[in-house]
Structure 1
Amino acid sequence: MNANDHMFAATMPPQEVSVDVLREKYAKGSENSIDEVRARVARALASHEAEPLREEMEQRFLWAQERGFVPAGRINSAAGLGIKATLMNCFVQPVGDSITGSHDGLPGIYTAVAEAAETMRRGGGVGYDFSPIRPAGSVVRGTRSRASGPVSYMEVFDASCRTVESAGARRGAQMGVLRIDHPDVERFIAAKDGGAFSNFNLSVGVTDEFMAAVLGDGEIELRHQAEPGPDAMADGAYRRDDGLWVYQRVRARDLWDKVMHSTYDHAEPGVLFIDRMNAENNLYYVERLAATNPCGEQPLPPYGCCDLGSLNLTHYVRSPFTIDAHFDFDTMREVAAIGVRMLDLALDATQWPLPQQAAEGRDKRRVGLGFMGLGSALVMLGIRYDSDEGREMAARIARELRDATYAASIALAQEKGPFPLFDAQRYLDGQFVQRLPDALRAEIALHGIRNSHLLSIAPTGTISLAFADNASNGIEPAFSWVYHRKKRMPDDTTRTYEVADHAWRLYRHLGHDVGEGSLPRQFVTALEMSAHDHLRMMEAVQPYIDTAISKTVNVPADYPYGEFKDLYTGAWRAGLKGLATYRPNSVTGSVLSAVPAPPPAPSPAQPNSAETDPLRRRFESRPIGELESVTTKVEYSTQEGKKAVYLTISFIRVDGVFDGREVRIERPFEFFMPANQRSDGQQWITSTMRLLSMAARAGSSIAKALGDMREVVWEKGPVRCGFLTREDGVQVPVYHDSEVAAIAFMLQRVLIGRGFLDSYGNQVPVPELDRLLRLRSAAHASLVGAVTRETGTIAVPARPAEKCPECGARALQRVDGCARCGECHYIGSCG
Structure 2
Amino acid sequence: MSRFSAPIAEQIWDMKYRLKDGSGRPLDASLEDSWRRVARDLASVEATPEVWEERFYTALEDFRFLPAGRILAGAGTGRQVTLFNCFVMGTIPDSMGGIFEMLKEAALTMQQGGGIGYDFSTIRPKGAVVHGVAADASGPLSFMDVWDAMCRTIMSAGSRRGAMMATMRCDHPDIEEFIAAKQDSARLRMFNLSVLVTDPFMEAVKAGGSWDLVFGGRVYRTLEARDLWNRIMKATYDYAEPGVIFIDRINTANNLRYAETIAATNPCGEQPLPPYGACLLGSINLARLVKAPFEAGSGIEAAELDELVRTAVRMMDNVVDASKFPLPQQAAEAVAKRRIGLGVTGLADALLMMGLRYGSDEAVAQTEAWMRAIARAAYLASVDLAREKGAFPLFDAEKYLASGTMQAMDADVREAVREHGIRNALLTSIAPTGTISLYAGNVSSGIEPVFAYAYRRKVLQPDGSRTEEEVVDYAVSLWRQKFGETPLPDHFVSAQTLAPMDHVKMQAAAQKWIDSSISKTINCPEDIGFEAFKDVYLAAWDLGCKGCTTYRPNAVTGSVLTVSEKAEAVPQAETGAEVIYLSEPLDRPEALEGQTYKLKWPVSEHAIYITVNDIVVGGRRRPFEVFINSKNMEHYAWTVALTRMISAVFRRGGDVSFVVEELKAVFDPRGGAWMGGRYVPSILAAIGDVIEEHLVAIGFIEGAGLGLKSDPKAGAAVAVAGGAKPKACPSCGAYELVMIEGCMTCRACGHSKCG
TM range (shorter): 0.7 to 0.9
| 1:60 aligned residue | 55
Within the candidate set 64, 71, 78, 2:74 is matched to 78
Cα shift at 1:401: 0.3
2:20 corresponds to 1:20: no
The letter for the 1-side match of 2:141 is V
Q: How big is each residue's C-alpha offset from its partner over 1:539-584, in whole Å with a ceiling of 9 and x where there is no partner?
A: 1111100000100000111111110011111111111110111111
**Does the alignment pair 1:43 with 2:15?**
no
Correspondences of 1:215-226 after superposition (within 5 Å): 215-225=206-216
- CA gap of 1:812–1:147, structure 2 versus 1, over 3 A, is farther
| 1:326, distance to aligned residue in structure 2 (A) | 2.0
Amino acid at match of 1:579: C
Correspondence for 1:126? 116
User: Where do residues 269-280 of structure 1 align in structure 2 (5 Å cutoff)?
Assistant: 269-280=242-253
Please say if 1:211 is aligned against 2:202.
yes
Match of 1:748 in 2: 696
SS across alignment from 1:192: helix
Contact 2:162–2:754, Cα closer than 8 Å, also in 1: no
Question: Residue 807 in 1 paired to residue 729 in 2?
Answer: no
Q: Deviations over 1:499-528 (max 9, x none)?
A: 111000111112x1335xx11122111111
Give the drift of 1:586: 1.1
* Candidates 704, 709, 714, aligned match of 1:759: 704
Corresponding residue of 1:671: 621
The aligned amino acid for 1:594 is V
How is 1:271-420 mapped onto 2 (pairs within 5 angstroms)? 271-420=244-393
> Retained in 1: the 8 A contact 2:364–2:509?
yes
Aligned to 2:717: none
Give the direction of change, closer, same or farther, for the CA distance of 1:610–1:359 in structure 2 (3 Å limit): closer
> Which residue identity is paired with 2:35?
R
**Deviation per CA, 1:348-380, whole angstroms, max 9, x where unpaired?**
000011111111111100001000000000111
TM-score (norm 1): 0.77
Map Cα deviations across residues 413-441 of structure 1 (whole Å, 9 max, x no partner).
00001001000011111111111111111
| 1:613 and 2:575 correspond | yes
Deviations 1:256-279 (A, max 9, x none): 111111111111100000001001
SS in 2 for 1:522: coil
Give 1:697's aligned residue: none
Change (3 A) 1:110 1:11: closer
- Show CA shifts across 1:682-737 (max 9, x none): 99999999998xxxxxxxxxxx6351564799xxxx9xxxx9974x4x79799558
Residue of structure 2 equivalent to 1:621: none
Report the AA paired with residue 506 of structure 1.
Answer: L
Q: Alpha carbons of 1:760 and 1:455: their partners in 2 closer, same or farther (altered >3 Å)?
A: same
Counterpart of 1:573, as a letter, is D
Structure 1 pair 173/221, CA: closer, same or farther in 2 (3 Å)?
Answer: same
After superposition, the Cα gap between the structure-2 partners of 1:812 and 1:159, relative to the gap in structure 1 and judged at 3 Å, is: farther
Distance 1:744 1:333, change over 3 A: same
Helix, strand or coil for the counterpart of 2:699?
Answer: helix
Query: 2:657 maps to which residue?
Result: 707
CA contact (8 A) 2:284 2:344 kept: yes
Partner Cα distance (1:673, 1:38) in 2 = 49
Identity within the alignment, %: 42
Q: Does 1:504 align with 2:471?
A: no
Question: Residue type matched to 1:819 in 2?
Answer: M
Distance in 1 of aligned mates of 2:396 and 2:292:
45
Q: CA deviation at 1:819?
A: 3.3
Three-state SS of the structure 1 residue aligned to 2:744 is: strand
Q: CA RMSD in A?
A: 3.7
Structure 1 Cα separation of the partners of residues 181 and 540 of structure 2: 24
Letter in 2 for 1:158: D
| Equivalent position of 1:193 in the other structure | 183
Structure 2: 5+ residue runs without aligned partners? Answer: 21-26, 580-592, 601-605, 628-639, 712-723
Q: 1:169 and 1:706, CA in 2 relative to 1: closer, same or farther beyond 3 A?
A: closer
Counterpart of 2:74, as a letter, is: A
- The 3 A distance-change label for structure 1 pair 345 and 725 is same
Do residues 514 (structure 1) and 509 (structure 2) align?
Answer: no
Runs (5+) with no aligned partner, structure 1: 1-9, 102-107, 226-243, 601-608, 618-630, 651-667, 693-703, 767-796
Counterpart CA distance in 1 for 2:110 and 2:651 is 43
- Is the contact made by 1:204 and 1:270 (CA closer than 8 Å) also made in structure 2? yes
2:43 and 2:53 in contact (8 A); partners too: yes
Q: Secondary structure at the match of 1:63?
A: helix
- Inter-partner Cα distance in structure 2 for 1:139 and 1:33: 62
Contact 1:758/1:764 (<8 A) preserved:
no
Q: 1:33 aligns with which of 30, 33, 51?
A: 30
For the 8 Å contact 1:174–1:201, the answer to whether it is kept is yes
Q: CA deviation at 1:250?
A: 0.8
Asked if structure 2 preserves the Cα contact closer than 8 Å seen for 1:366 and 1:451, the reply is yes
Deviations 1:238-296 (A, max 9, x none): xxxxxx01000011111111111111111110000000100100001010011101110
Conservation of the 8 A alpha-carbon contact between 1:178 and 1:205: yes
Q: 1:634 aligns with which of 574, 583, 596?
A: 596
CA radius of gyration, larger in: 1
Counterpart position of 1:170: 160
| 8 Å Cα contact 1:220-1:252 kept in structure 2 | yes
Counterparts of 1:35 and 1:493 in 2: how far apart (Å)? Answer: 31
Match of 1:818 in 2: 743
Distance 1:149 1:812, change over 3 A: farther
In 2 relative to 1, CA 764–584 (structure 1 residues): closer, same or farther, beyond 3 Å?
farther
Is the contact between residue 706 and residue 744 of structure 1 (CA under 8 Å) also seen in structure 2?
no
Q: Which residue of 1 aligns with 2:634?
A: none
Query: Contact (CA 8 Å) 2:12, 2:750: kept in 1 or not?
Result: no
How far apart, in 1, do the equivalents of 2:275 and 2:520 lie?
A: 24
The Cα shift of 1:113 comes to: 1.0
Distance in structure 1 (CA, Å) of the matches to 2:115 and 2:651? 45
Judge conservation of contact 2:520–2:741 (CA < 8 Å) in 1: yes
SS, match of residue 358 in structure 1: helix
Other-structure match for 1:69: 65
Give the Cα separation in 2 of the matches to 1:192 and 1:814: 16
Aligned-partner SS, 1:175: strand
2:688, 2:401 → 1: CA distance? 65
- Matched AA of 1:46: A
- Alpha-carbon contact 2:262-2:272 (below 8 Å) kept: yes
Contact 1:321 1:380 in 2 (8 A): yes
Work out whether residues 597 and 690 of structure 2, in 8 Å CA contact, stay in contact via their aligned partners in 1.
Answer: no
In structure 2, distance between residues paired with 1:306 and 1:275: 20
Code of the residue aligned with 1:828 in structure 2: it is S
Shift of 1:189: 0.8
What per-residue deviation string (whole Å, max 9, x for no partner) do you get for residues 310-357 of structure 1? 000012211111113122121011000010000000000000111111
Seen in structure 2, the aligned counterparts of structure 1 residues 371 and 733 have a Cα distance that, compared at 3 Å, is closer
CA distance, structure 1, for counterparts of residue 504 and residue 86 of structure 2 = 24
Distance 1:562 1:458, change over 3 A: same
Q: Deviations over 1:39-90 (max 9, x none)?
A: 111100100112xx21111111111112611111111000011101001111
The whole-number CA distance in structure 2 between the counterparts of 1:710 and 1:128 is 28
Secondary structure class of the residue paired with 1:31: coil
Query: CA 1:643–1:508 in 2, change beyond 3 Å: closer, same or farther?
Result: closer
How many pairs were matched up? Answer: 694
Q: What aligned pairs does 1:89-168 form with structure 2 within 5 A after superposition?
A: 89-99=85-95, 108-168=98-158
Which amino acid in 2 is paired with 1:482?
Answer: A
Deviation at 1:611, TM superposition (A): 7.2
- 1:712–1:741: 8 Å Cα contact kept in structure 2? no
The residue that corresponds to 1:544 in the other structure is: 513
**Matched position secondary structure for 1:527:** coil
SS at match of 1:705: coil
CA distance in 2, matches of 1:688, 1:670: 18
Measured in 2, the distance between the counterparts of 1:744 and 1:209 equals: 45
Match of 2:546 in 1: 577
Deviation at 1:95, TM superposition (A): 3.6
**Aligned-partner SS, 2:621:** strand
Contact 2:4–2:441 (8 Å) recurs in 1: no
